[in-house]
Structure 1
Amino acid sequence: MVSEKVMNSRAVLRKELREARRALSAVQQEEAARSMAVQLNSLSLLDRARNVAGYLVNDGEVNLKPYIDSQWQNNPSKQFALPVLHPVRKGHLLFLFYSRHTRLVRNKYNIEEPALSCQNVLPTSQCDVILMPLVGFDTKGNRLGMGGGYYDRTLAFTQTTSHSYDQLVSNKPKLVGIAHDIQEVNSLPIAPWDVPLDAIVTPTRTLLFDNA
């Protein structure tokens, strides 16, 4: 059980950090996106990955398009996917393959996502790396998301110790948080459902954790 005090603390922090990243100028956002591409292109766990899930920029997040575009140009064997709100399992995500030719639609949050197509679904357990947007983070690898719990529910299988999930867990994706440097805090109030990260990347540095 998470106390009301912790939940209120998370809500206040989430509001402050979202406002801070939205306040970044267009020039600052463009520079952050270019620097992020450099950081990600030098990350070895991404270099080894074939299937990479990312996201399309929203609400002041770091834009991944320069990184994705550079990979499309220089590493065409790497496949990308984007999250889609699950049409059946409320509060969960699906990942659909994403290319230059993917038709995009806007979901209920006004975020672009691939038009739903069953043949384009990439099972979550087959993602080698998932690049996740963060609202806040600390240097211990704790993350604060938007509050909807979509990633935590979708990725809960990576935390199970059930024998029936042994194969899935052995193939679980590496989870990489993406954030602006201004989104770092000294310590985050955490909740038991928070899924830990393998790495956090900002435009200026990369933090790797024990399981990365």
Structure 2
Amino acid sequence: MPATLCRIELRKHLRAARKALTHSQQQHAAKAIARQLENLTFYQHAKTVAGYLANDGEPELTETIAQCWQNKKQTTLPVLHPFSKKHLLFLRYCATTPMQFNRFNIAEPVLSATDICLLNQHDIILMPLVGFDVQGNRLGMGGGFYDRTLSALDPNHRPVLIGIAHDCQKVDTLPTASWDIPCDYIVTPSMVQRNPGCATPESHLHKSAQ
């Protein structure tokens, strides 16, 4: 089976699995993921965290974001780039941020140049995904928005990349492409997976704080 077809079939199967979760299961997952993150020492020390607003059965980060605000962390959300096709910007997000729906019917902050937070100004980026494997490979929705955006990161000065997933989204091995950006960590309701080749998270936080 060609790798592209395999990715398409995997995406279909894993999206169906996460969308089949009940409301109660989704609520449990959101709380468990928030606890998992809060228990990570480098996450506790982070000052700026990018999140997302859940869509298509993705784990909710509402509790995690509220937790960030309570702990005086700055949060951002991805916004579709108005000029660079299939790229993202990250805008500061708080309870009073004006919001609008993008072309995918996902809520995002209203674009404001003064609220843009550059990639290297983040300590951590929490990313949704469709599937993941033990190597930290991430299968997205297929648009390539995160991969294109994160390809600009300086490997020596970048945030920690954390994929957020339900346990049912794990597979043994994902077919990968040359442009795929792997995660440093995967966090699910039941586990924190540190991936092979992951740099020391504290070194990222130290550099981003400089």
Pair 1:106-2:106 in alignment: no
1:149 maps to which residue?
144
Instruction: Give the TM-score normalised by structure 2.
Output: 0.91
Query: Of 114, 121, 125, which aligns to 1:119?
Result: 114
Unaligned runs of 5+ in 1: 159-167
Q: Conserved in 1, the CA contact under 8 Å of 2:69 and 2:75?
A: no
Counterpart CA distance in 1 for 2:132 and 2:41 is 21
Give me the whole-angstrom Cα distance separating, in 2, the residues matched to 1:198 and 1:44. Answer: 15
Structure 1: how far apart are the matches of 2:155 and 2:176? 23
Conservation of the 8 A alpha-carbon contact between 1:157 and 1:169: no
Once the 2 structures are TM-superposed, how far is the Cα of residue 170 of structure 1 from its aligned partner?
Answer: 2.3
Shift of 1:45: 2.3
AA at the equivalent of 1:82 = L
Q: Stretches of 4+ moved more than 6 A in 1?
A: none
> TM-score, normalising length from structure 1?
0.91
Matches within 5 A, 1:23-62: 23-62=20-59
1:200 and 2:186 aligned: yes
Provide the rounded CA distance (Å) in 2 between the counterparts of 1:173 and 1:192.
21
State the 1:127 CA deviation: 1.3
Cα contact 1:33–1:64 (8 A) shared by 2:
yes
Instruction: Give secondary structure in 2 for the equivalent of 1:82.
Output: strand
Show the 5 A alignment for 1:126-165.
126-158=121-153
The answer as to 2:86 corresponding to 1:91 is: yes
Gapped regions of structure 2 (runs ≥ 5): 200-210
Aligned Cα RMSD in Å? 1.1
Residue in structure 2 matched with residue 211 of structure 1 by the alignment = 198
CA positional deviation for 1:140: 1.1
Could you list the per-position Cα deviations for residues 67-108 of structure 1 after superposition, in whole angstroms to 9, with x for gaps in the alignment?
1112212x11x1000000000101100000000111111000
Deviation per residue, 1:49-83 (Å, 9 max, x gap): 1111010011000001111112212x11x100000
SS at structure 1 position matched to 2:155: helix
The residue type equivalent to 1:183 in the other structure is Q
CA contact under 8 A between 1:126 and 1:171: conserved in structure 2?
no
**Aligned pair partner of 2:171 in 185, 204, 210:** 185
Q: Which residue of 1 aligns with 2:5?
A: 8
Count of aligned positions: 198
1:41 is displaced (CA, Å) by 0.6
Give the aligned residue type for 2:79.
V
CA contact (8 A) 2:102 2:108 kept: yes
Among 64, 69, 73, the alignment partner of 1:72 is 69
Deviations 1:112-136 (A, max 9, x none): 1001011000011211110000100
Identity of aligned residues (%): 52
Shift of 1:195: 0.4
Distance in 1 of aligned mates of 2:184 and 2:119:
16
Does structure 1 conserve the Cα–Cα contact (< 8 Å) formed by 2:68 and 2:74? no
CA distance in structure 1 between the aligned counterparts of 2:7 and 2:41, rounded to whole angstroms: 32
Retained in 1: the 8 A contact 2:36–2:187? Answer: yes
Q: Distance in 2 between matches of 1:88 and 1:141?
A: 30
